[in-house]
């Protein structure tokens, strides 16, 4: 008689960057990476669901690759040739492995699950996107419906040659943008069919110096080492009724099989030309807040496509993560040396006001409780159903609107 192993709870996270944590603001769920598993947690009930990057899973929707039409078998094995029977939360071949290690497809390791290092929840809460590490990685699109398979993805993308650095959904959940790591350099824009979950490559370009991506209205921002760039694309206007256009988004988005060029323009950095930008969050359709490794907090003002960058304030410690609280109208900053810090949105809009003096901005205080420098640094923040979620090397913390709620052990 065989032994059945069922996954009940995950204690731990292999995430180490802002791209390893994501949330859907209105659904009350957040997701994070744990080896080859993505954990989807409800902030109210604290229940967990697990999505598994099965190396042999056959997706429901086939997405042909334009740049990699024939993926070498040495790197992927028989990854998409056979679909293993689905058993909910099965642990027969799940490995909580180190996210920094790649397992190339050689002999016994050809079917070994890969680590996932990037995750994104669609704002509507319907889809979960997962990015793998290593050579010829996949981006897996899962349905979060309770009746959906946890190891059988809706769609599978194989356009990247090396690891997937970051993935992000647009605000209307109709577009998915993916960024490869430094060695990959691919920036891809995919349209999503809202009825079937099928994806289609719409636009592409190269971007080798960015470490994360964020949507600002209908535009995409990439930030990284001495790098801030705004990427723009013209969304197609369907002549059909809205509902029909919603269901056929991927069909009407781009009729040609050849991807369009994803056009972008660099932001003039001025005095921040040597800065390492670590994170960003959109606060309006034409404005975003950017942070740097040395603690600078900046406003990117894109009114009338101006792409102007202002430094609003600076904290003493490095900033690694940022998220928006749309209810309290603040942005939360996370980094080394303390709890998350709140900065009111009004301080950023004051930058646009010519009557605001530079001295007023210089004296702006952050709402924080600093701890010692030995405290673990917060590498990711997200916001779900009026709950702030932070992740560091020791714990995942859950905060309410005004106070700390709970803390769960991450590294035992």
**pLDDT tens, position by position, 219-244:** 999 999 999 999 998 776 544 444 44
What is the pLDDT at residue 224? Answer: 97
35-39, 67-71, 255-259 — most confident range: 35-39
Which stretches of 58-138 are assigned E, i.e. beta strand?
61-62, 116-121, 127-132
What is the pLDDT at residue 93? Answer: 34
Asked if 102 contacts 132 with a C-beta cutoff of 8 angstroms, the reply is no
DSSP code at position 259 = P
What are the b/e assignments for 291-327, b being 16+ CB within 10 Å?
A: bbebbbbbbbbbeeeebbbbbbbbbebbbbbbbbbee
What is the pLDDT at residue 337? Answer: 64
Please write the tens of the pLDDT for every residue from 310-368. 999 998 889 999 999 998 899 999 988 668 899 999 988 876 654 444 444 444 444 44
**pLDDT exceeds 50 at position 88:** no
Alpha helices in 152-309 (DSSP H): 242-247, 249-253
Mean pLDDT calculated for residue range 386-405: 77
What is the pLDDT at residue 408? Answer: 39
Asked if 36 contacts 113 with a C-beta cutoff of 8 angstroms, the reply is yes
The pTM of this model reads 0.81
Task: Report which of 264, 214, 37 is spatially closest to residue 142, judged by C-alpha positions.
Answer: 37
Asked if 156 contacts 136 with a C-beta cutoff of 8 angstroms, the reply is no
Distance between CA 400 and CA 386 in Å, rounded? 7
Q: Which one is predicted more confidently, 91 or 391?
A: 391
**pLDDT exceeds 70 at position 399:** yes
Site of tokens 């969050």: 281
The two structure tokens encoding residue 167: 């993935």
Asked if 299 contacts 309 with a C-beta cutoff of 8 angstroms, the reply is yes
Q: What are phi and psi of 110, to 5 degrees?
A: -65, -25
Alpha helices in 51-140 (DSSP H): 73-76
């Amino acid at each position: 008689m065989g032994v059945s192993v069922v996954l009940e709870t995950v204690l731990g996270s292999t995430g180490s960057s802002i791209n390893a944590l994501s949330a859907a603001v209105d659904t009350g769920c957040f997701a994070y990476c744990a080896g080859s598993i993505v954990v989807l947690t409800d902030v109210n009930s604290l229940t967990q669901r697990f999505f598994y990057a099965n190396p042999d899973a056959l997706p429901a929707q086939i997405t042909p690759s334009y740049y990699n039409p024939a993926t070498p078998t040495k790197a992927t094995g028989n990854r998409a040739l056979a679909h293993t029977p689905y058993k909910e939360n099965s642990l027969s071949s799940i490995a909580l492995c180190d996210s920094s290690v790649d397992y190339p497809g050689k002999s016994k390791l050809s079917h070994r699950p890969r680590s996932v290092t990037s995750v994104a929840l669609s704002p509507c809460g319907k889809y979960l996107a997962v990015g793998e590490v290593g050579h010829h990685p996949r981006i897996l699109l899962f349905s979060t419906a309770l009746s959906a398979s946890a190891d059988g993805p809706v769609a599978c993308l194989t356009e990247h040659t090396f690891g997937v650095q970051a993935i992000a959904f647009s605000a209307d959940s109709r577009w998915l943008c993916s960024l490869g790591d430094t060695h990959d350099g691919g920036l891809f824009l995919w349209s999503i069919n809202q009825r079937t979950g099928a994806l289609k490559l719409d636009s592409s370009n190269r971007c080798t110096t960015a470490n994360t991506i964020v949507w600002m209205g209908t535009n995409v921002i990439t930030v990284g080492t001495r790098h801030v760039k705004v990427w723009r694309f013209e969304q197609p206007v369907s002549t059909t009724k809205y509902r029909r256009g919603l269901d056929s988004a991927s069909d009407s988005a781009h009729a040609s099989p050849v991807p369009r060029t994803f056009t972008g323009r660099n932001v003039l950095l001025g005095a921040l030309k040597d800065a390492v930008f670590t994170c960003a969050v959109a606060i309006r359709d034409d404005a975003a807040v950017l942070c740097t490794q040395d603690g600078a907090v900046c406003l990117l003002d894109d009114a009338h496509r101006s792409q102007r960058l202002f430094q609003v304030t600076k904290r003493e410690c490095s900033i690694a993560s940022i998220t928006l609280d749309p209810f309290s109208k603040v942005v939360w900053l996370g980094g080394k040396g303390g709890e998350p810090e709140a900065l009111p949105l009004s301080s950023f809009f004051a930058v646009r006001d010519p009557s605001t003096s530079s001295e007023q901005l210089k004296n702006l205080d952050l709402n924080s409780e600093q701890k010692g420098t030995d405290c673990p640094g917060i590498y990711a923040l997200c916001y779900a159903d009026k709950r702030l979620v932070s992740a560091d090397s020791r714990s995942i913390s859950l905060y309410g609107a005004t106070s700390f709620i709970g803390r769960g052990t991450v590294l035992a």
